[in-house]
Amino acid sequence: MFAKRTNWNMTPNRLSEALAAHRAAGKPFIDLTVSNPTECGFEYDGAAILDALRNPAALAYEPNPRGLESARRAVAGYYADREETVSAEDIFLTTSTSEAYSYVFRTLCDPGEELLIPSPSYPLFDFLADIQDVSLVRYPLLYDHGWQIDFHALEQAITPRTRGVIVVHPNNPTGNFVKSSEMTKLNAICSARDIAVIADEVFLDFALDGSRAASFVANHGAPTFTLSGLSKISGLPQMKAAWLVVSGPQQWKSEALARLEVIADTYLSANAPVQLAIPRFLEERHGFQKQVMSRVRRNLAELDRQLAGQKAVSRLKVEGGWCAVLRVPATRSDEDLAIDLLSAHGVAVHPGHFYDFPHEGFLVVSFLTPGTDFSLGIANVLTVLGRE
Ligand SMILES: Cc1ncc(COP(=O)(O)O)c(C=O)c1O
């Protein structure tokens, strides 16, 4: 009686099972996979955050498919601080970046049509696509002293059914930003074929060298949807506040906005208290990002210090985001290695295949892990891998 699109394999993978067993046995472990910023020991201005949710204006219902204008103006202000011009009229508020993806997929794709996604990348895409009846086709990112888009493979992956190319800027977990030369090529490819660029910028503010990468919100060279939100920018995933910005050739943009307006009007999913609090929640990003960047830089320096003392493991170049990719000896599968690291040595890491790495020999660790744990966890990983 269920739709085929929900025929997912629900059996937990071996690593999840090992983690559940480890937890059930009450055994401690160092978690190098943490991604929930609210559980990583960062300080938030709790009083101000809660206070912002008590706005009396929330007692009135003011439905607007794009979301409350005050909130959209605050989002436009976030881009203005980055020296990018966005009109509040081109912004739709959503409850998550995932919801923004679903609006975009619904706007662009009929069932069975295709979107290109980078590989390696973030594992949620498969579910988002299944739910929207969209097929995903992967294009590789190549690593050669840094990550880059394999444009030859990307072009080969385009078929008459392709409706858009997703870029994650910077990508999770590889941490590479889309370079301006890559943006130019992407625009040429997409505009020539009438397909859209879909840019996920949730980690845009987290550049390791402190530089400010250009956002896709000001990209007019191709039909473009840019997605971001407060989960990462302000470290507030529980507030469910995100957005979608439309840019591109004027006539296409007007039509895209009109179609999105119908989708957004059908759900009107953003709630009033959170929308009214968005200006304050955006303020929170300054303190949050400072703490995150300081932890990421410290953990990266510690990782490099420990890596310098051995030869078995190296790390790939990282430009931004919250993760490091380790290249490890491929003497067994990454999943077997991750299970052994957890069960026998009390350290949780993500195997590369979780992020669709093309072959064995990669582990992903989170820089959000507090410093002492990070240092101990990495030391354990390197000791085990030194014996492989
Ligand atoms: C690249 C990327 N996009 C989107 C998200 C999810 O964002 P949201 O909480 O707004 O759905 C994540 C979460 O890890 C992510 O890594």
For residue range 25-36, list pLDDT tens digits in order: 999 999 999 999
Nearest to 91 by CA among 70, 121, 62, 60: 70
Q: Is the pLDDT of residue 258 over 90?
A: yes
355 lines ligand 1 (CB under 6 A): no
Q: Is 2 exposed, middle or buried (0-12, 13-18, 19+ CB in 10 A)?
A: exposed
Q: Which of 95, 128, 202, 204 to mutate to test the pocket of ligand 1 (most atoms within 8 A of CB)?
A: 202
Q: Is the pLDDT of residue 72 over 90?
A: yes
C-alpha distances in Å from residue 332, one per residue of 337, 354, 361, 362, 384? 7, 16, 8, 11, 13
Non-local CB neighbours of 48 within 8 Å, separated by 6+ positions: 280, 283, 284
Q: Which of 103, 167, 172, 198 to mutate to test the pocket of ligand 1 (most atoms within 8 A of CB)?
A: 172
| Confidence at 387, pLDDT banded by 50, 70, 90 | confident
Q: Is the pLDDT of residue 163 over 80?
A: yes
Contact 322, 366 (CB under 8 A): yes
pLDDT, tens digit (0-9, with 9 covering 90-100), for 306-333: 999 999 999 999 999 999 999 999 999 9
172 lines ligand 1 (CB under 6 A): yes
Q: Which helix or strand (DSSP H or E) is residue 225 part of?
A: strand 224-229
Contact 276, 352 (CB under 8 A): no
Look at residue 388 in the predicted model and tell me its pLDDT: 77
Q: Which of 97, 128, 355, 366 to mutate to test the pocket of ligand 1 (most atoms within 8 A of CB)?
A: 97
> How many Å is the maximal CA-CA distance in the chain?
64
C-alpha distances in Å from residue 106, one per residue of 92, 138, 160, 196, 325? 15, 19, 18, 13, 33
Contact 118, 166 (CB under 8 A): yes
Contact 216, 201 (CB under 8 A): yes
pLDDT, tens digit (0-9, with 9 covering 90-100), for 180-192: 999 999 999 999 9
Counting from 1 in the atom list of ligand 1, the atom nearest the Cα of 35 is 14
237 lines ligand 1 (CB under 6 A): yes
Neighbour count for residue 380 (Cβ, 10 Å):
19
- Rounded average pLDDT over 120-142: 95
- Rounded average pLDDT over 133-156: 97
Alpha helices by DSSP H, listed for 30-84, are: 46-52, 69-81
Look at residue 243 in the predicted model and tell me its pLDDT: 98
Look at residue 263 in the predicted model and tell me its pLDDT: 98
DSSP-assigned letters across all residues of 76-92: HHHHHHTT----GGGEE
Q: Which helix or strand (DSSP H or E) is residue 93 part of?
A: strand 91-94
Angstrom distance (rounded) from CA 256 to CA 193: 17
Non-local CB neighbours of 13 within 8 Å, separated by 6+ positions: 335
